[in-house]
Amino acid sequence: MNKRFQKLPFLLELFFNGAFIFLYAFYKANRIQTPLISQEMTEVVLQSLAWSAPVFVLFSIVSFFHRSDNVEDFFRKYVFSLIVFFPMIITFGDVQFTFWLSAVHLFSSVLSIYELKPDSSEEGKDYVLGMLDKIRLAPAQIVILSFSAIILIGTLLLALPISAAEGKSISFIDAFFMATSATCVTGLSTVSLVDNFSFVGQSIVLVLLQIGGLGYMTLHSSMMILLGKSMAVKNQVMMQDLLDITSMSDLIAMIVDIVKYTIVIEFVGAIILTFAFSFEGYEFGQALYFGFFHAISAFCNAGFALFNDSLENFAYNPVISNTIACLILLGGLGFIVLKEVELVFRGKKKIVNLSVHSKVVFTTTFSLVAFVAIYVFFSEYLHSLKDLSFWQQLQVSFFQSVTTRTAGFNSISLSSLFPHTLYLFILVMFIGANPGSCGGGIKTTTFAILFQSVRATLRGKDRVEFFDRTLPNVLVVRAISIIVISLMICSAFILLLMRLETEHSFLSIFFEVVSAFATVGLSLGITPYLTVAGKAVIIVLMFIGRIGPLTMALAIGQKKEEGGDFKYPTGKIMIG
């Protein structure tokens, strides 16, 4: 078959889906008559396109089948098209349902733009990116550009009238802020997600935070695997750096596990929350929506809630609060740790045989949770918690200790807490979650290395040890570097925001900056009242907080150039 003709089904489907989505979005945005086309005519056109959508998808499927080597190759590469096609048949003619399916299928079709071509110099054994082969970017640059592109697309989508609630409009700076906050899984909001965004807008925010939680490159690579594509060597190296994996087979297995853990954990959490919200008196459809939204938001450590007071109304509901807390903990552990936990539950590994990384993660995480919970309980026992029962006090203290480190939900008004309690929250927000997870901060392992380094110095040792293992000195240097750089960034932005936002207190600005940098999302209430310049500063800070540690890890992890490794004579400097 002629190569140009092979591309025809793809181009037709791309044009059809794009036209259908564009027309439906504008129809839902204004629903007014124009001199060129009436509302009734628009509805007739949309209905005709909805009826035609399965035909175009079927045309593409037949074309794909003709181009495939065999049936197995067809199912491996184009199973996503079949998944979309059958719901279209079942809901034949439903305009709204067809719109969402077309949007999903358009996304999968756009990914095929990255289809890899064999390199003639290697006789088809190696693959390179056809369109992007000539662009040479470092892994850190690709990560930055990828997140920037997602934020830009999210901003444009949230700025559309269809994303705003009836009678509301979203300014560009607010759309930019919300898209950045969602993609960076922060949770800070300049406008109410409930009052100012429609169902479409809330769904866009949900998709952005899911992408941000998984990480764009993980999502992109997993989609390539699901669509039967091969990854370029450059992408392989980047993913191996991100996930600390050495072989391609382990890389593919880890990506599959990441998707599996995410789907299973979020689905189970969503089902539990759905029934919990139903018992709270919500209609089942609404409870289902609340359940899935908050399950995804909690697992991704995003902190977005569909209630203006976060989860304060459900502070004493043990099912909702404890389910959210468990999802936050699982999302903040890191996928490598989750893999080891799965092996323990399946009996393939004993707890004592866990890696040093997992042992440090569990020890540091649960020590911080216990310490913060105890501190909040006794600190606020006769203050903000005085009107609660003993079990309610324990519940609030535990939930706040879990969510403060990285998630951003709150079950009690932060303005009612003592300043010293808020300062403790700032410290644990700065520490954050674990490496390879959905959370931010300097990471618990970095804090643990610093703690052990100080402990070793006080005991007169010249090495840092964890669980009968000695850490390389280079890790200690890297951990200290990350902490110092993070402190410098936060200090600089605190000074800048104090200069721009003179009406707000130092504690509020301090809290806001650390929350944004650590991608937590808690606030003392100043976010909606920031000036445009202040919002721009927080946008940059959220981006740095999400990209910074990842970029530093990629940059630090690069191999040294050969022939450039030499040492100067030893020198001494007095300290202390």
Q: Write out pLDDT tens, residues 412-461.
A: 999 899 999 999 999 999 998 888 787 788 889 999 999 999 988 888 88
Q: Is residue 138 part of a domain?
A: no
Among residues 374, 437, 419, which one has the least CA distance to residue 400?
A: 374
- Is 129 within 8 Å of 119 (Cβ atoms)? no
Residues in the chain with pLDDT values less than 70: 1-14, 17-18, 21-40, 64, 67-87, 90-91, 96-97, 100, 103-142, 216-252, 549-566, 572, 575-576
Among residues 407, 393, 394, which one has the least CA distance to residue 365?
A: 407
Report the alpha-carbon distance of residue 376 to residue 385 in Å, rounded. Answer: 9
Its sign, for the CA torsion 542, 547, 550, 554, is negative
Tokens of residue 546, six digits: 């999400």
Decide the pairing of beta strands 469-470 and 465-466: antiparallel
Decide the pairing of beta strands 127-129 and 116-118: antiparallel
CB atoms within 10 A of CB 144: 18
Based on the number of CB atoms within 10 Å of its own CB, is 570 exposed (0-12), middle (13-18) or buried (19 or more)? exposed
Kindly list the distances between the CA atom of residue 48 and the CA atoms of 29, 41, 42, 54, 280, in Å, as whole numbers in the listed order: 20, 11, 10, 11, 42
Q: CA angle at residue 440 from 314 to 402, to 5 degrees?
A: 30
Report the alpha-carbon distance of residue 119 to residue 469 in Å, rounded. Answer: 45
Q: Is residue 97 part of a domain?
A: yes
Report the alpha-carbon distance of residue 178 to residue 170 in Å, rounded. Answer: 10
At residue 257, the pLDDT reads 78
Q: Is residue 137 part of a domain?
A: no
Tokens of residue 394, six digits: 């324990």
CB atoms within 10 A of CB 307: 15
CB atoms within 10 A of CB 33: 12
Q: Is residue 30 part of a domain?
A: yes
Report the alpha-carbon distance of residue 355 to residue 190 in Å, rounded. Answer: 42
- Is 68 within 8 Å of 78 (Cβ atoms)? yes
Q: Is residue 244 part of a domain?
A: no
At residue 157, the pLDDT reads 85
Q: Output the pTM of the full model.
A: 0.74
Tokens of residue 212, six digits: 């941000």
Among residues 537, 470, 563, which one has the least CA distance to residue 176?
A: 537
Q: Is residue 50 part of a domain?
A: yes
- Is 239 within 8 Å of 143 (Cβ atoms)? no
Tokens of residue 106, six digits: 């358009």
CB atoms within 10 A of CB 488: 10
Amino acid at residue number 497: L
- Is 415 within 8 Å of 526 (Cβ atoms)? no
Q: Is residue 563 part of a domain?
A: no
- Long-range residue pairs from 104-107, CB within 8 A, at least 24 positions apart, any chain: 105/13, 105/17, 105/57, 105/80, 105/81, 106/14, 106/17, 106/18, 106/21
Per-residue pLDDT reduced to its tens digit, 77-122: 566 666 666 667 766 777 766 776 776 666 665 555 444 444 444 4
At residue 254, the pLDDT reads 72
At residue 287, the pLDDT reads 92
Q: Is residue 524 part of a domain?
A: no
At residue 108, the pLDDT reads 60
Contacts of 330 (CB under 8 A, 6+ apart): 265, 299, 338
Number of domains in the chain: 1
SS (H, E, C) 497-559: HHHHCCCCCHHHHHHHHHHHHCCCCCCCCCHHHCCHHHHHHHHHHHHHHHHHHHHHHHHHCCC
At residue 119, the pLDDT reads 44
Rg of the chain, C-alpha, whole Å: 25
- Is 109 within 8 Å of 118 (Cβ atoms)? no
Its domain, for residue 28, covers: 1-114
